[in-house]
Amino acid sequence: MTKYESEVKQIHYPQVNVFMKLADLRNLQVFKDRVNDPLFVDNLRASGQIPEDKLQQIREMAQKLEFTADTVTIPGTPLGNVVLAIVERDEPKCLKFEVQGIPLSANLWIQLLPTSATDCKMKCTVGADLNFLMKQMAKKPLQEGVEKLAEMLAMIPYGY
C-alpha cells in the first residue's frame, strides 16, 4: 500500500472537539454550507489558497455531497458513487476510513494529537493499493488531494 501524508496542521480547538465533530460525518455539512457563504468564498479568494477555476468546481462538488453519521457519498464521479466510510474510531486520537465504490483498495486516516488543552495537531494519510503505472500517474493528484483535505479540515470551526 502506497501512503500519501499531509503536512501537520495546527488546529486551535481541543483534540476532543475536533474528534467529536469528525466522528459524526453529518457535522461536515458545515463545509457544504460554507462554500455558498459569500464572505467565506471572498476570504478564500483573498487568501489565494484555491485558484478561481477550482473554486467553482469545489462549490459544485460540495452541493452533491451526501452525509450520514458514518459516510460521505460523492455521487456522479467518473467512477460512479464514491463512499468514504468510517471503519474505526479511536477516541480521541484517530479516525480510520475506507473508500468504497471504486475498483481499488484505498483508505484514509485522520490523526489528532493534543498540543495544549485548547489546541491540537492533525495529519491526514491516504493509503492506496496501486500498480506501478497507476502509482506514477496518481502520485501528484493524491498528494495534492490529501494536502487540500487537511487544509479544509483545519478550517472547520470545531467549537460547539
Question: How is residue 53 annotated by DSSP?
Answer: H
Please tell me the distance from the alpha carbon of residue 27 to that of residue 34, in angstroms, as a whole number. 12
Please tell me which residue, 33 or 130, carries the higher pLDDT value. Answer: 130
CATH 3.30.530.20 matches 2-155: yes
pLDDT, residue 23, reads 97
pLDDT, residue 47, reads 77
Please tell me the distance from the alpha carbon of residue 140 to that of residue 97, in angstroms, as a whole number. 21
Please tell me the distance from the alpha carbon of residue 29 to that of residue 66, in angstroms, as a whole number. 9
pLDDT, residue 15, reads 97
Q: What is the pLDDT of residues 64-81, one digit of tens each?
A: 889 999 999 988 777 788
What percent of the chain clears pLDDT 70, i.e. is strictly above it? 99
Cβ–Cβ < 8 Å for 120, 150: no
**Region 32-36 average pLDDT:** 78
Please tell me which residue, 5 or 56, carries the higher pLDDT value. Answer: 5
**pLDDT tops 70 at residue 160:** no
Q: What is the pLDDT of residues 102-158, one digit of tens each?
A: 888 999 999 999 999 999 999 999 999 988 888 888 889 889 989 988 988 998 888
Task: Map out the domains of the chain as residue ranges.
Answer: 2-155
14-28, 56-70, 82-96: which has the minimum mean pLDDT?
56-70
pLDDT, residue 25, reads 94
Q: What is the pLDDT of residues 7-29, one digit of tens each?
A: 999 999 999 999 999 999 999 88
**pLDDT tops 70 at residue 2:** yes
Radius of gyration from C-alpha coordinates of the chain? 16
